[in-house]
Structure formats: C-alpha cells, structure tokens
C-alpha cells in the first residue's frame, strides 16, 4: 500500500486537540520532518514522521486514560 496524502485529527466537539498530516503547509516548511508534521492544540506545529492510524488511535487512547 502506498500512502500519498494523510491527515488524522482528534477533536472533542469543535476543539481540535491534535492533527497529523503531510500537507505541503508553508508554516511547516522549516521543520526537518517536512512534509510530515503535527498541529498541537496550542496551534503550534511540530516535527513528526509518517504516522499510521493505529499509532493515532493509541495516542488518543492514552489521552483518554490519562484524563480519567
């Protein structure tokens, strides 16, 4: 399987808690992992790597567990 473009986000209501993608976002161009990057709740964009749905689901599960 070849993945050309991806984007995974986790939101609660209208609030986006994080988003991974590999879009050619000009704001992420200076990152060493470009085009892969992660948008944080604070609107900060940080380095990421190619990520898979299973990893995103694990991260969401950990956030839910740690919130309890």
Rounded Cα–Cα distance for residues 27 and 45 (Å): 8
The C-alpha atoms of residue 22 and residue 51 are separated, in whole angstroms, by 10
Residue 2 lies in a domain: no
Give 39-63 pLDDT, tens digit per residue: 999 999 999 999 999 999 999 999 9
> What's the pLDDT at 2?
73
What domain range includes position 36? 7-67
* Residue 1 belongs to a domain: no
> Has residue 38 been placed in a domain?
yes
Look at the chain and report how many structural domains it folds into. 1
Which pTM was predicted?
0.88
Q: pLDDT at residue 3 above 90?
A: no
């Amino acid at each position: 399987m070849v993945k050309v473009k991806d984007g995974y986000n986790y939101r609660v209501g209208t609030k986006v808690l994080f988003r991974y993608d590999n879009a050619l976002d000009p704001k992420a161009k200076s990152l060493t992992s470009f085009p892969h990057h992660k948008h944080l709740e604070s609107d900060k964009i940080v380095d990421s790597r190619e990520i898979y749905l299973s990893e995103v689901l694990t991260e969401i599960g950990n956030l839910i567990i740690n919130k309890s």
